[in-house]
Structure 1
Amino acid sequence: MAHIDYYLGTISPWCYLAGNRLEEVAGRHGATITYKPVDLMQLFDRTGGTKPADRHPSRMEMRAQELTRWSDYLGVPFNLKPAHWPVNMAPSSYAVIAAQDAGGDVGGLVQGFLRAVWAEQRDISDDAVIREILAASGFDPALADKGLFIGAETYGRNLEQAVEAGAFGAPFYVVRESGQRFWGQDRLDFLERHLASL
């Protein structure tokens, strides 16, 4: 059985546009997923990337066009300039880490945070919002307060593992058995072809 390490950012528009397609692909091939939220801004710094705020205007214009094209193509609601972006990813990431330990629909929770940013104009660094999204995703809202030390430790470790695995953006999918890496929601078809070959 294949296992996928999914490096994600809870404020990434590209992770939002991925929707639940990773979970569908994994389900079709009996693969399991470990969700690894990372601090994307630190990941960019560590791997030679440029933070959005520091990118050349032509790159940001292309980004805006591509995000709009993809959201239209996928038929998902999308605010190109959300009210709460960027925000501190750590609190929502800790909630994802705690939820994964608790068991349940972690993929749905991740999408709940992403949808809150990109479609619902909500601040996912706010404790009340985190609790609401946990509850809506079938988790105990108290997970927002549990395991904060472990969450912080895991969040830092995820960044180190991302760098070691060759990840430099999000979404980034690594198949443990083969070491094959897939960057971007537009590479999910290639990930599926790879899983079918294992």
Structure 2
Amino acid sequence: MPHIDYYFATISPFTYLAGTKLEELAKTHGCTITYKPLDIITLFSRTGGTPPKDRHPSRQEYRAQDLPRQAKKAGLPLTLHPAHWPTNPAPSSYAIIAAQQAGGGDLGGLVHGILRACWAEEKDVAEDEVIRACLSDAGFDPDLTNSGLLSGAETYGRNLEEAVAAGVFGAPFYVLDTGQKFWGQDRLEDLQMHLEGKL
């Protein structure tokens, strides 16, 4: 059974634009997924990247053009400059980590719900009430926001170290147990073709 380590950031627009395609792909091909939210800004600094606000104006301009195009292709609503971005991704990441450990809900739905809250609903995904609502909507106990904070913080930090060691440098990033890597929501088709033995 193929396994995918899924590295992502809860404030990443490109992770949002992946929607739930990874989960659909995993279901079709019998894959298991480990969700590994991480601190994307620190990942950039560790792997030669640059935070969006510090990028050259030409890169910022391209990003501003490309995100709406990709959102239209994905059929997802997108606010290019959401009211609460950037925000602290740690609280929502801890909640995802706690939910993964607890089980019993729709983890992919939780991840997408948090990202949608940021990029389509203009909510602050660092706020407890927003995270609790996302947990509840995905079938998890909203009180997971209050439990496992220490282990969540430890796992969050470990995810970053594992990402760097695995050659991850952006989000979303998919690493198969075979060592094959796919970066970006626009590479999910390639991941699918790889699982089908075509790439």
- Partners of 2:54 and 2:109 lie apart in 1 by 31
Q: Which amino acid aligns with 1:110?
A: V
- Indicate the residue corresponding to 1:57 in structure 2: 57
Residue 196 of structure 2: SS of its match in structure 1?
helix
CA offsets 1:69-89 (integer angstroms, 9 cap, x no match): 011122211100000000000
Q: Which amino acid aligns with 2:73?
A: Y
Residue 197 of structure 1: SS of its match in structure 2?
coil
Q: TM-score, normalised by structure 1?
A: 0.98
- Indicate the residue corresponding to 1:5 in structure 2: 5
Give the aligned length: 197
Q: What pairs up with 1:119-130 in 2 under 5 angstroms?
A: 119-130=120-131
Residue 49 of structure 1: SS of its match in structure 2?
coil
- Partners of 1:197 and 1:4 lie apart in 2 by 16
- Indicate the residue corresponding to 1:93 in structure 2: 93
* Runs of 5+ consecutive residues of structure 2 not aligned to the other structure: none
- Indicate the residue corresponding to 2:46 in structure 1: 46
Q: Which amino acid aligns with 1:120?
A: E
- Indicate the residue corresponding to 2:106 in structure 1: 105
- Partners of 2:14 and 2:145 lie apart in 1 by 24
- Partners of 2:69 and 2:129 lie apart in 1 by 32
| 1:31 aligns to 2:35 (yes or no) | no
Residue 124 of structure 1: SS of its match in structure 2?
coil
Q: Structure 1 residue 197: deviation in Å?
A: 2.1
Q: Root-mean-square deviation (CA), in Å?
A: 0.9
Residue 156 of structure 1: SS of its match in structure 2?
helix
Moved over 3 A (4+): none
- Indicate the residue corresponding to 2:165 in structure 1: 164
- Indicate the residue corresponding to 1:195 in structure 2: 195
CA offsets 1:119-170 (integer angstroms, 9 cap, x no match): 0010000111111111111110000011000000000000000001100000
Q: Which amino acid aligns with 2:167?
A: G
| 1:180 aligns to 2:180 (yes or no) | yes
CA offsets 1:39-79 (integer angstroms, 9 cap, x no match): 00000000000011100111011011110101112221110
Residue 111 of structure 1: SS of its match in structure 2?
helix
- Partners of 2:136 and 2:23 lie apart in 1 by 20
- Partners of 1:139 and 1:15 lie apart in 2 by 21
Residue 160 of structure 2: SS of its match in structure 1?
helix
- Indicate the residue corresponding to 2:82 in structure 1: 82
- Indicate the residue corresponding to 2:147 in structure 1: 146
Residue 35 of structure 1: SS of its match in structure 2?
strand
Residue 24 of structure 1: SS of its match in structure 2?
helix
- Partners of 1:148 and 1:160 lie apart in 2 by 19
Residue 45 of structure 2: SS of its match in structure 1?
helix
Q: TM-score, normalised by structure 2?
A: 0.97
